Amino acid sequence: MLQQVNPYLPSWEYIPDGEPYVFDGRVYVYGSHDRFNGHVYCLNDYVCWSAPVDDLSDWRYEGVIYKKTDDPLNLDGSMCLYAPDVTVGPDGRYYLFYCLDKVPIVSVAVCDTPAGKYQFYGYVHHLDGTPLGEREGDQPQFDPAVLTEGEQTYLYTGFCAKGDKSRLGAMVTVLGPDMLTIIQEPIIVAPSEPYAAGSGYEGHEFFEAPSIRKRGSTYYLIYSSILMHELCYATSDSPTEGFTYQGVIVSNCDMYIDSYKPANKPMFYGGNNHGSIVEISGEWYIFYHRHTNGTNFSRQGCLEKISFTEDGQIPQVEMTSCGSIETPLIGRGEYPAYLACNLFCDEESIYTDFTGAWMNNQFPKITQDGKDGDREIGYIANMKESATAGFKYFSCQGITKISIKVRGYCRGHFEVKTAWNGEVLGTIPVDFTNVWTEYFAAINVPDGIQALYFTYRGSGSASLASFTLGG
């Protein structure tokens, strides 16, 4: 039986910056495309995945929808395709907006279907034909997000590093029905860090990754703040002005969540974040990404169910292995270790790849064997003393035995708990092995909705492939 899990795509697929949309009864996700073991962001061509709205476990690969060499400025493929977005134009066609990584302009491609082969269409430009981003006084363009209403399309862009006074903030530009020509010049809608005093955005100023959605009569501007690991949002009753900061929707290291741990304790190795919200069969979700392989350059898409308060606010949600505590995983059978939504050790780090400990291979990481594109199931590597992998949530009933598959030069045991700092329910001894070896122990897990944590205690470094719950 297939179940909804995080990451929602196969463990060998690396699609960050997810922009989800529902078209004709299917959810389509558009994002950039990282490479496993890549040395920079977004090395691969754009691909698309989709799922029926009534089954978010049944994702279908739609294939390559646009190649980096399809842009006339990038015929040699020397530039990467950064985070895109898609909108349906007034003519009913699908328009793909994107930026290449070395030029400050917005490119557009078009297709008759949501996930067919997109064809290059043109560059967003001023009335005189000058590409937006190249006219004197223009802000450089980055991370386009688009929303079409009637004959007009609202284009949101921006990249604003902390302390950079040359970047003013997220901007919106209004395009005409041809999807390329500017009919209203850029307007700043969310401030950058140097210009945020008194704005309400202080501490969560705009950094990158704007995304725009509309719910009822309210516009939701989702973005990544200067802290990077969080997706924040602001709301307005207008698409071009009046956006008020509201809060954090999700953090890819679970900062601020205090329901199961201290608010300031990171529970995963975070990094930049990018995503958006979408309504699917009457329920709303936030799509975001996590970091794997101990770097910033192999990111994977995740999703969580969200809710709205009566006044339209979105309470922050925690990272899970299942997308929502309302749909826990079945507390029986084998689960791959790459589903871990918590991964940490005694030495804490909010960010992936930002400390010397990463260079010294001190932290556990989700990785895979083989090369990019190989359909190798992911696993957790480098689990040294205190390394902990957490999985949430399971509907447990009558679990009396747990087995794990481990390999590596390790000697010690894995503690099993239902909370990161909870009582040890039992231990599973492990030993040196260069092949995946199954170990088990009689361990009783309390009935009910439970999290499961596996903490390594011992010498050497263990890799964890999976665990099996039985009775």
The DSSP secondary structure of 157-197, one letter per residue, reads E----TT-TT--EEEEEEE-TTSSBEEEEEEEEEE-GGG-T
Can you give the pLDDT at residue 361? Answer: 73
- Single out the catalytic residue among 71, 143, 205, 208: 208
**What tokens does 27 get?**
């959810």
- Among candidate residues 404, 405, 403, 393, the one with its CA nearest the CA of residue 446: 393
CB count within 10 Å of CB 123 equals 21
Class of domain 19-306: mainly beta
Domain ranges of the chain: 19-306, 329-470
| pLDDT at residue 362, rounded to an integer | 82
What kind and span of H or E run contains 357?
A: helix 356-359
Can you list the residues of the chain whose pLDDT is less than 50?
none
17 catalytic per annotation? yes
| 338 membership: H or E segment, kind and range | none
SS (H, E, C) 252-279: CCCCCCCCCCCCCCCCCCECCCCCEEEE
Task: From the candidates 17, 205, 254, 318, give the one annotated as an active-site residue.
Answer: 17
The question of whether 70 is a catalytic residue gets the answer no
Q: What is the reported pLDDT for 7? A: 98
CA–CA gap between residue 102 and residue 99 (Å, rounded): 8
User: Under CATH, to which class is 329-470 assigned?
Assistant: mainly beta
Chain CA centroid to CA 205, Å = 19
The predicted pLDDT at position 357 comes to 60
For residue 2, what pLDDT is reported?
A: 82
